[in-house]
């Protein structure tokens, strides 16, 4: 319980920092776009690079066994999410972000620290594998539909679509880094250091962006909106259960299943917010759902802890 | 010998890291992600939130009550060095006949350096967290002398005779940075244990200060531009002062006070940073020659990227 509370407070404080710079009039609501752009084009790619590049091929291979299961779960969650969006009659401009929020969880900021604190340091490669898969689906499937939300999809040719999907900086970072990790190259310090300094900013800046957006929304920020409860149930109940079922079916090691459940059963991924904001989709909706899901984590982490004693 | 080659290679890479981040800031402004108001925005966020967080979390992780007691001598060295630089600058300004409306600007650039926006990130990248405490001592002396002696001299350029301790300038001394350092020291001295979530959150936010300060430098360089750079009277002396005279003065005084090598090295790096950005802000406000100040900022920024690896190389012989 203490652990959950600490993670929630940590996130809360950093969001508050974003809110604070707005109340001091240092920053205006419109500036959330600058920070999310920097995050999307520079900080997140650097984070991915330096988290993945030092993993050894053995670790990558071992962790890779969970990739198919996580990939299937993510895609199932997305499909369910999209169907639910249609069923709930969500506005057209929210369907993509809604389904994306159901598909991916906050690995970098919450998932990895919480899973190492609960299960030990040796789970990081598994958590990273989940993270990599989730980034991959967010920056392929997710971004396709999020841009569609924003009405950027009128003129689609197959080639253009493929280019748009693959020319996302975070995805390029994954595609470049994994082969590099396998090659075990000794990279110059200038590259790893730059990536580390910039990558370390990714999570705090995402949360500061959330704070700026919350300020921009004002009191409306915490008004409940249709679909948020579905996001929470999807994130904290359905996704981990799917991972559990599929993990047993695939005969994955027990530790791998636990990590994957924990990491997928986390609040909404903060990168979703950055993607929505920098592509002009309904980022206010994402911020709200993110805020609610962060508080929901307080209830669910103790539940997971209890559950893990039985598995 | 191979060890000094290693050192210089590492130093060059560290400087490249700094250069890349400054270039990124320049690029963000060029692509118009940051608009006109970007400099102001980042200045406030960096000096109001990010840098104070970094200083606070650094003090908590590196300062011990013993170190607080030994701060006295460590503070005296940069203080005396900067005072000596001010005296030398007055002499040289008279010898080479610097025009009246830029004597104060000249003297201030000659004697003080950009210890926050460039100095802190550079120190952190070159020396790691352990180098930050001496950097803060230097910062304290530098900022106190800038807002007293420096501002007084710049005001005189504009034809106004202020005083050393003008109220307006004294207010400038009370910054969030100073506040963060004092609160951090208080926490260390009283042995207060902060809750983990608070410390970690401040660490996270503080970590963003290094790239974002350097982005801000890129933004400032974009605004000043490189087109207007041409040789102005006294510029050669500013470069000599920042990169040769200042480090030498500091080295001599530091040896006199028998400072340890790490503290001395950090002081030398801090002392050889580009001129302060506040110089031209202050010059503009007082009607002094602000153009001279901006040109010197661009030139010394670039020069410091070249000199820093050289110092790191020379340090291997200390």
pLDDT tens-digit profile of A49-99? Answer: 887 887 788 877 888 888 999 999 999 999 999 999 999 999 988 999 999
Q: Give me the count of residues in chain A.
A: 311
Average pLDDT over residues B35-53: 92
**Per-residue confidence at A109, pLDDT binned at 50, 70, 90?**
low
pLDDT at B225 over 80: no
Q: Pick from A20, A34, A190: which is nearest to B33 by CB?
A: A34
Nearest residue of B to residue A208, measured between CA atoms: B205
Q: What residues of chain A lie within 8 A of the CB of B10, using their CB?
A: 189
φ/ψ of residue B94, rounded to 5: -70, -40
CA distances to A191, A305, A307, B183 from A310, in Å: 45, 9, 6, 47
Confidence band, pLDDT 50/70/90 cuts, at residue A157:
low
pLDDT at A158 over 70: no
Residue of A nearest to B16 (CA): A190
Residue B175 vs residue B244, higher pLDDT: B244
Confidence of residue A161 (pLDDT cuts 50, 70, 90): low
Q: Average of pLDDT values for B1-16?
A: 81
Average pLDDT of chain A is 84
Tokens of A164: 């748009």
Among chain A residues, CA nearest to B196: A6
**Which chain A residues are closer than 8 Å to B123 by Cβ?**
none
Report the SS3 class of residue A268: strand
**Residue among B86, B91, B111, B132 nearest B272 (CA):** B111
What are A40's two structure tokens? 């999307």
User: Measured between CB atoms, which of B16, B34, B208 is closest to A201?
Assistant: B208
CB contact under 8 A, A27 and B41: yes
Calculate the alpha carbon distances from A129 to A68, A136, A170, A178, A259 in Å: 10, 10, 15, 11, 10
Q: What pLDDT does A52 receive? A: 80
When scoring A194, A202, A203, A298 by the number of chain B Cβ atoms within 10 A, the one with the most, hence best to mutate, is A194
Kindly state the average pLDDT of the residues B179-203: 91
Q: Summarize the confidence of residues B115-129 as an average pLDDT.
A: 92
For residue B95, name the pLDDT band (cuts at 50, 70, 90): very high
Average pLDDT over residues A164-187: 81
C-alpha distances out from residue B26 to B33, B122, B215, Å: 10, 18, 7
- The mean pLDDT value of chain B amounts to 89
Whole-number pLDDT of residue A160? 65
What pLDDT shows up at residue B184?
A: 93
Chain B residues close to A198, C-beta within 8 Å? 21, 211
Digit-coded pLDDT (tens) for B230-283 = 788 889 999 999 999 999 999 999 999 999 999 999 999 999 999 988 888 888
Q: A74-97: string of b/e by CB count within 10 Å (b at 16+)?
A: bebbbebbbebbeeeebeebbbbb
B16: chain A residues, CB-CB within 8 Å = 190
Average pLDDT over residues A240-265: 92
Percent of chain B with pLDDT over 70: 98
Asked if pLDDT for residue B4 goes beyond 60, the answer is yes
The tokens of A292 are what? 């609610």
Q: Give the closest residue to B127 by CA, choosing from B301, B305, B270.
A: B270
The predicted model gives B286-307 an average pLDDT of: 87
The residues facing A268 across adjacent strands are A105
- Is the reported ipTM for this assembly greater than 0.90? no
Shortest CA distance from A193: residue in chain B: B17
Q: Tell me, what's the pLDDT at A2?
A: 58
> In whole angstroms, how far apart are CA A3 and each of A113, A120, A212, A302?
10, 14, 26, 9
What is the structure's pLDDT at A102?
93
| B197: nearest CB among A10, A188, A205 | A10
The pLDDT score that the predictor gives to residue B171 is 82
If we measure between CA atoms, which residue out of B99, B93, B225 comes closest to residue B157? B99
Cβ(B60)–Cβ(B206) under 8 Å? no
Contact B208 A42 (CB under 8 A): no
Residue A194: band (very low, low, confident or very high) from pLDDT cuts 50, 70, 90 = very high
Select the residue of A10, A24, A190 nearest B17 (Cβ to Cβ). A190
Instruction: Give the pLDDT confidence score for residue A75 in this predicted structure.
Output: 95
Question: Once rounded to an integer, what is the mean pLDDT over residues B179-207?
Answer: 91
Q: Is the pLDDT of residue A195 over 80?
A: yes
Nearest to B44 among A26, A188, A194 (CB): A26
In whole angstroms, give the CA distance from residue B266 to residue B155: 31
Q: Would you state the pLDDT for residue A4?
A: 64
* Max intra-chain CA distance, chain A: 55
Complete DSSP assignment for chain B: -HHHHHHHHHHHHHHHHHHHHHHHHHHHHHTTSS-TTHHHHHHHHIIIIIHHHHHHHHHHHH--HHHHHTHHHHHHHHHHHHHHHHHHHHHHHHHTT--GGGHHHHHHHHH---IIIIIHHHHHHHH-GGGHHHHHHHHHHHHHHIIIIIHHHHHHHTT----TT-HHHHHHH--HHHHHHHHHHHHHHHT----HHHHHHHHHHHHTHHHHHHHHHHHHHHHH-STT----TTHHHHHHIIIIIHHHHHHHHHHHTT--HHHHHHHHHHHTS---HHHHHHHHHHTS-HHHHHHHHHHHHHHHHHHHHHHHHHHTT-
Q: What is the pLDDT of residue A152?
A: 67
CA B261 vs. chain centroid, Å, equals 20
Percentage of chain B lying above the pLDDT 90 cut: 56
The values of phi and psi at residue A155, to 5°, are: -95, 90
Q: Give the whole-angstrom CA distance, residue B241 versus residue A115.
A: 53
Chain B residues within an 8 Å CB radius of A114: none
What dihedral angle (degrees, nearest 10) is formed by the CA atoms of B130, B134, B139, B140?
A: 120
CB pairs under 8 A between A and B: 82
pLDDT at A1 > cutoff 60: no
């Amino acid at each position: 319980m203490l652990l959950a509370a600490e993670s929630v407070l940590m996130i809360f404080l950093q969001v508050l920092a974003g809110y604070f710079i707005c109340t001091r009039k240092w920053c205006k609501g419109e500036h959330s776009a600058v920070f999310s752009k920097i995050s999307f084009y520079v900080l997140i790619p650097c984070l991915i690079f330096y988290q993945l590049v030092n993993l050894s091929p053995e670790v990558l291979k071992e962790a890779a066994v969970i990739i198919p299961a996580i990939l299937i779960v993510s895609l199932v969650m997305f499909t369910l999410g999209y169907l639910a969006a249609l069923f709930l009659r969500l506005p057209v401009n929210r369907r993509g972000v809604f389904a994306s929020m159901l598909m991916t969880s906050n690995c970098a900021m919450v998932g990895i620290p919480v899973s190492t604190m609960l299960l030990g340091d040796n789970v990081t490669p598994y958590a990273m594998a989940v993270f990599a898969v989730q980034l991959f689906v967010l920056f392929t499937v997710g971004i396709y539909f999020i841009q569609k939300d924003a009405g950027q999809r009128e003129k689609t040719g197959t080639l253009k679509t493929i280019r748009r999907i693959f020319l996302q900086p975070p995805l390029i970072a994954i595609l470049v880094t994994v082969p590099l990790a396998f090659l075990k190259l000794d990279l110059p310090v200038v590259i790893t250091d730059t990536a580390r300094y910039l990558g370390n900013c990714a999570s705090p800046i995402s949360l500061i962006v959330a704070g700026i957006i919350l300020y921009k929304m004002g009191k409306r920020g915490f008004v409940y909106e249709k679909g948020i409860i579905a996001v929470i149930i999807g994130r904290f109940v359905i996704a981990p259960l799917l991972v559990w079922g599929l993990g047993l079916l695939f005969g994955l090691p027990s530790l791998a299943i636990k990590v994957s459940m924990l990491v997928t059963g986390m609040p909404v991924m903060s990168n979703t917010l950055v993607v929505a904001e920098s592509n002009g989709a309904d980022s206010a909706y994402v911020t709200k759902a993110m805020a609610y899901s962060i508080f929901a984590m307080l209830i669910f982490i103790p539940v997971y802890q209890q559950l893990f004693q039985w598995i | 010998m191979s060890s000094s080659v290693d050192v210089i290679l590492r130093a060059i890479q560290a400087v490249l890291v700094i250069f890349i981040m400054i270039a990124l800031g320049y690029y963000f402004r060029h692509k118009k992600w940051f608009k006109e108001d970007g400099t102001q925005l980042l200045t406030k966020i960096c000096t109001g939130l990010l840098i104070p967080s970094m200083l606070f979390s650094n003090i908590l992780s590196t300062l011990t009550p013993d170190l607080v007691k030994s701060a006295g001598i460590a503070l005296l060295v940069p203080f005396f060095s900067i005072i000596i630089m001010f005296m030398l600058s007055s002499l040289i300004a008279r010898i080479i006949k610097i025009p009246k409306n830029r004597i104060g600007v000249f003297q201030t650039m000659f004697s003080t350096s950009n210890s926050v926006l460039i100095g802190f990130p550079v120190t952190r990248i070159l020396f790691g967290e352990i180098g930050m405490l001496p950097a803060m001592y230097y910062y304290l002396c530098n900022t106190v002398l800038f807002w007293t002696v420096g501002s007084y001299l710049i005001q005189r350029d504009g034809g106004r005779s202020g005083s050393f301790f003008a109220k307006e300038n004294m207010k400038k001394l009370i910054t969030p940075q100073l506040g963060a350092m004092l609160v951090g020291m208080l926490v260390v001295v009283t042995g207060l244990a902060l809750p983990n979530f608070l410390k970690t959150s401040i660490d996270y936010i503080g970590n963003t200060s290094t790239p974002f300060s350097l982005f801000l430098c890129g933004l400032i360089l974009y605004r000043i531009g490189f087109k207007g750079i041409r040789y102005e009277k006294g510029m050669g002396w500013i470069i000599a002062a920042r990169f040769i005279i200042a480090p030498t003065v500091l080295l001599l005084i530091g040896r006199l006070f028998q400072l340890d090598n790490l503290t001395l090295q950090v002081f030398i790096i801090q002392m050889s940073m580009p001129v302060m950005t506040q110089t031209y802000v202050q010059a503009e406000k007082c009607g002094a020659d602000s153009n001279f100040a901006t040109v010197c900022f661009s030139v010394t920024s670039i020069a410091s990227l070249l000199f820093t690896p050289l110092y790191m190389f020379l340090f291997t012989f200390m």
